[in-house]
Amino acid sequence: MPKLVERETAPRLSPLGAAPALAVQFFLIPLAVVGVIVLVYGGFRMLLTTERTPAELLSDVRSGGRERRWPAAYELSRMLSDPGTEARNPRLGDAIVQAFVDSEGDDPRVRRYLALAIGRLAAPPSEAVSELTAALNDPDTETRISVIWALASLGDESTVDDIEAMYRSDDAGVRKMAVYALGALTGSGDHATLRNALDDPAADVQWNAAVALARHGRSDGMTVIRRMLDREYVTRMVTRRASADDPLDPVSEVIVSGLQAAASLRAAELRQPIEALSETDENLRVRELAIKTLDLLNQSTRLMRRAMPSGENRGP
């Protein structure tokens, strides 16, 4: 006799009835898990990326521990790259300059970053330039470099003589920044320091001098600029390693600076090395800039020919 249970048929679920269960199992539960993960991640992200106010950073600079003060000064200098920071804090410049004055003889790292912060001020206090100039004799080399950069950024032409004096430093980094600053400042006198720097023992000081002269419309550094367009030569000279944060490798940076200098001078005599870069250089950015420089040189040549009196640009 057959068992009764064998006669019973299993209950049937229609597809429509099973759909909600499947949705919960395969969609809603995973979605809820993902949502929880996103909320947890977002919460931690907000905790880590909450930006502090300039007043809080300055408080740490003045009275924080040794390992809190210089990161606060760094963050303050970074924050000032946004012009809105200064606009929202109209007394911030005075406070930074005072903090810089008070940092004399203290942790050099704090002083360096405060100098950079002053250099990024759009409306620096009246005493900013004098306090920076006084710091050109700071015993810390990196601080002097930061101070020179800040003076160049502020653009006060009265500091030209003081910056030229810094070129007499034994440190190549100081000389390099002094040459850069003289290129950025418009009132650089007769450019004697920049011309002398073309024969500096350090190659990167020579490069900065040539570029600085080109900014002033001077072609005295044309020989140096030609060397800057030679990747093989630059590769031998550059010792700095590439950084993951830099869009260009150090060798390509030098070549790009040379191309920019050649473009500003409309240097037709450099056409051949520029053409070679545009066709064969390993760096795409270099090739693109070389092509743009060639276009600029071609435009200049056409304009010169049009400006010549009739018959002068014709052959015999």
The 10s digit of each residue's pLDDT in 231-286 is 999 999 998 776 666 678 999 999 999 999 999 999 999 999 999 999 999 999 99
Read off the pLDDT of residues 290-308 as tens digits, 9 standing for 90 and up.
999 999 999 877 766 666 6
How much is the mean pLDDT over the chain? 85
Residue 4: pLDDT band by 50, 70, 90 thresholds? Answer: very low
Higher pLDDT, 83 or 32: 83
pLDDT at residue 247, as a whole number: 72
Q: Give mean pLDDT, residues 19-41.
A: 55
Residues 6+ apart with CB under 8 A from 191: 182, 213, 216, 218, 220
How big is the CA angle at 163 (ends 69 and 136), to the nearest 5 degrees?
35
- In this structure, what are the phi and psi dihedrals at residue 30, rounded to the nearest 5 degrees? -60, -40
User: Each residue of 134-145: pLDDT tens digit?
Assistant: 999 999 999 999
d(CA 205, CA 128): 27
pLDDT score of 187 more than 90: no
- Tens digits of residue pLDDT in 45-94: 444 445 789 999 999 999 888 889 999 999 999 999 998 999 999 899 99
Q: Which domains does the chain have, with CATH numbers?
A: 53-154 (1.25.10.10), 159-219 (1.25.10.10), 221-306 (no CATH)
Q: Has this prediction a pTM greater than 0.85?
A: no
**What average pLDDT does the segment 3-29 reach?**
51
Instruction: Give the DSSP per-residue string, 197-255.
Output: HTT-SSHHHHHHHHHHHHHTT--TTHHHHHHHT-HHHHHHH--PPP-TT-SS-HHHHHH
| Residue 239, pLDDT score | 84
User: What is the mean pLDDT of the segment spanning 93-107?
Assistant: 95
The yes-or-no verdict on residue 314 having pLDDT over 90 is no
Which pLDDT does position 188 carry in this prediction? 63
| % of the chain exceeding 90 in pLDDT | 70
pLDDT of residue 316: 39
Contact between residue 228 and residue 255 where contact means Cβ atoms under 8 Å apart:
yes
CA–CA distance, 272 with 262 (Å, rounded to integer): 12
Q: Is residue 98 within 8 Å of residue 58, measured between CB atoms?
A: no
Structure confidence at residue 21 (pLDDT): 55
Mean predicted confidence (pLDDT) in 87-109: 94
Please give the residue that has the higher pLDDT: either 203 or 187.
203
Burial of 184 (0-12, 13-18, 19+ CB in 10 A): middle
Q: What is the pLDDT of residue 47?
A: 40
Q: Which of 148-162, 177-191, 233-247 has the lowest mean pLDDT?
A: 233-247
Q: Which region holds residue 155: left if phi is over 0, alpha if psi is between -120 and 50, else beta?
A: left
Please write the tens of the pLDDT for every residue from 212-235.
Answer: 999 999 999 999 999 999 999 999
pLDDT surpasses 80 at 312: no
